[in-house]
Structure formats: C-alpha cells, structure tokens
Amino acid sequence: MLGSMIHLPGLGAFDHTSGFVPLPSTADGRFRVGQHGVTAIAATGDRKVEFVAVGDRTLAHVRSGLGYPAYYPVEPVWLDRPVRAVLMDLDGTSVRSERFWIRMIEQTTATLKADPGFSLEDDDLPHVSGHSVSEHLDHCLRKYVPGASVEQAREVYFAHVHREMRAILEGRGQAGAFEPVEGLREFLLALKGRGIRIALVTSGLHEKAWPEIVSAFRAMDLGDPAAFYDAIITAGVAIRPGQPGTLGELAPKPHPWLYAEAMRVGLGMPFSERSHVLGLEDSGAGVCALRLAGVTTVGMDGGNIDRSGTRSLCARVCASFEDVLQMIDG
C-alpha cells in the first residue's frame, strides 16, 4: 500500500485508494527512490506503466513484453471549453468486440497446440486484451505452447483473422460479433451537431479494425464511416513474409503515438491546443496512452480501468455517453 501520500508532478497526489502501486525502483533498474533526485516511483495496478518523480517532473516508463520499453515526459492536462475534438477508442468504448478477439487468440493457441477443444483460463483474460497482438500471443505461447515462436503464432493468428474478417465484410460472418455500444449513434450525431470533430483510434491493425467499424455503422445506419469520422487511426498493416508492414506492434497503447497522430496529423491540432481535446477510453492501456499524449481523459465504465489501477489518471469516469455530453457542455 502507499504511505500517507505520494506526489507525482504533473499527475497529482495519490493515496492508497488510487490503485497505484509504490515501487522502490523501476523494473529496468534505471531509477531508484532516493537516488539522483528521484522522490517517488509508482506503477499502475497492472504494472504496465511506471511513473517516476524526478524533481519537478514525472517520467512515464512504458514497459514492453517484447523488449522495447520507452520513457515519456508526463505533461499536465486541463480542459478548456469549447471542446473542439473528441478522440474515441474503438474496442469496448465504441464497439463490443472483446470476446471475438479473445476467441481469435484462443483459436490460434488451439491450432498451435493441435487441440481443437482448447480454451483459455480466466486468469489469462487480463493478458489477452488491451495490448498488442504479439503481447497477447507471447503470453499464450509461454504458458501453453513454449516451443512455438511469436512469428509462427502471428502467421496462424492472421490466417484465422483474415478468414473471419472476409466473412464479416461479405455479410456471412458471425452474427453480433461487432455491436455498437448503447447510445453510440446518438452520441456521434450529437457531437456532429455541436461542430465537434471526431477521431476514432485503435491499437488494432487495419484489417481487424475496418470490418468492426463497417459492421457497427451498418447497425447504426450511419453510412460510410470513412466519410463520417474526421480521422481514423489504426495500427496499420501487419508485417508478413515478403510484404511491407507498418509500425503497430511495438508502439500500441499504452504508448501515446496513436492518439498523438490522431490529434496532430489526423485533425491538424498542435500540442498547444490539447486542452480543447477530450479522449474516451475503457481500458487501462488506452487511459495511459491518452494521458501520455497530453489529453484530458474520460474513462468509460465496463472495461478494465479499475482492474488495471488507472482510474486516478482519468479526469472523470462516465457510465454513459449522455454523461460525457454533460461534461462537454459544462
């Protein structure tokens, strides 16, 4: 448990109810409390991000299951009205899809094990959602198929995904695999009516994300999502033998880059205008990504924000899109 309070410049002061975990040092040993100006170190409950207080600044250490961690400066955030843009997560926040993607990881593991009856265990769930595909697969390989490589697993995984996504786009896929979250249609139209720009942001690769978006827009009768959103940012194209790929596995949420690209490149808003931007997320990884991108973060109930220990990074946690509109309107 935390002591009386822990102070992280740019983030605030936190007690034992915050969900943060106090640490004597960072996981890589680079920083230690009491040395070189470090006054405090605390991690999110899921240990994915560590915050290091050094003098009057805080650094965020984003850990990596694939061996490529990174440190980012934590900037203060505040909300100025009018809100000019909303950045929205896809899975969980906009579309109910988590069970489908967990099933893809499960099917991949079953194929690698040559066990059609294989199923994941309950304690696997925090490790197979909210992070990159490679990290999900790495967990399953270490636990269930130690002789297989991540590269081999990715090949099997994308074969399953390609088959399922093609079926969904052709209208013959799993019914109800991707359903819009309750109230999404009304919320999106309300934002449009207020002149607020909307960016959809996902750590999912394009071939995974696009059928989700199309399926949800069909259900909402909102036409072409590419024409509706002001920007759609995905993790790009998967790397396959003999084919080019884009950066999507080593820099997903909780890294800030997808949200930073949506704001700066997709919407053309410089960092200095970030106080007019609101971000919506239902996962701990996404909450960290928004916060490290310098955006005021609204947590959405129903995800793993409490389990990941990231509620304290949210300006507010809302139960519905109606609550978010009230916050936007002030």
pLDDT tens track for 262-315: 999 999 999 999 999 999 999 999 999 999 999 999 999 999 999 999 999 999
Query: Could you tell me if 124 and 215 lie in one domain?
Result: no
Asked if the structure places residue 159 within a domain, the reply is yes
Please state the pTM of the whole predicted model.
0.85
Number of domains the chain contains? 3
At residue 130, the pLDDT reads: 65
At residue 3, the pLDDT reads: 52
Asked if the structure places residue 80 within a domain, the reply is no
What value does the mean pLDDT take over residues 12-22?
91
Query: Could you tell me if 49 and 164 lie in one domain?
Result: no
Query: Could you tell me if 156 and 23 lie in one domain?
Result: no
Structure tokens that stand for 168 in this block: 């969904």
Of 2-16, 53-67, 199-213, the poorest mean pLDDT is in: 2-16
Please give the single-letter amino acid code of residue 180: P
Query: Could you tell me if 223 and 111 lie in one domain?
Result: no
How far apart are the C-alpha atoms of 248 and 205, rounded to whole Å? 7
How far apart are the C-alpha atoms of 298 and 310, rounded to whole Å? 11
Query: Could you tell me if 301 and 287 lie in one domain?
Result: yes
Cα separations (Å) of 162 from 91, 116, 169? Answer: 18, 19, 11
Other CB atoms within a 10 A radius of the CB of residue 4 amount to 7
Structural domain boundaries, residue 56: 6-73
What value does the mean pLDDT take over residues 149-170?
90
Tens of pLDDT, residues 233-259:
999 887 877 878 887 778 889 999 999
How far apart are the C-alpha atoms of 158 and 208, rounded to whole Å? 9
Query: Could you tell me if 92 and 226 lie in one domain?
Result: yes
Q: Which residues have CB under 8 Å from 203's CB, separation 6+?
A: 131, 132, 235, 248, 252, 253, 258, 285, 286
Which residue carries 């934002």 as its tokens?
A: 191
Asked if the structure places residue 175 within a domain, the reply is no
Judged against a pLDDT cut of 80, whether residue 15 lies above it is answered with yes
Residue 129: φ, ψ to 5°: -150, 150
Judged against a pLDDT cut of 80, whether residue 102 lies above it is answered with yes
| Nearest alpha-carbon partner for 135 in 307, 322, 143 | 143
How far apart are the C-alpha atoms of 68 and 230, rounded to whole Å? 32
> Where residue 1 falls among pLDDT bands split at 50, 70, 90?
very low
Judged against a pLDDT cut of 50, whether residue 318 lies above it is answered with yes
Query: Could you tell me if 204 and 322 lie in one domain?
Result: yes
Q: What share of the chain is helix, strand, coil (3-state, %, to 5)?
A: 40, 20, 45
Asked if the structure places residue 54 within a domain, the reply is yes
How confident is the prediction for the chain on average, in pLDDT?
A: 93
Query: Could you tell me if 256 and 129 lie in one domain?
Result: no
Q: Where are the alpha helices (DSSP H) in the chain?
A: 98-113, 133-144, 150-169, 184-193, 206-220, 225-228, 257-261, 284-292, 305-308, 321-329
Query: Could you tell me if 91 and 213 lie in one domain?
Result: yes
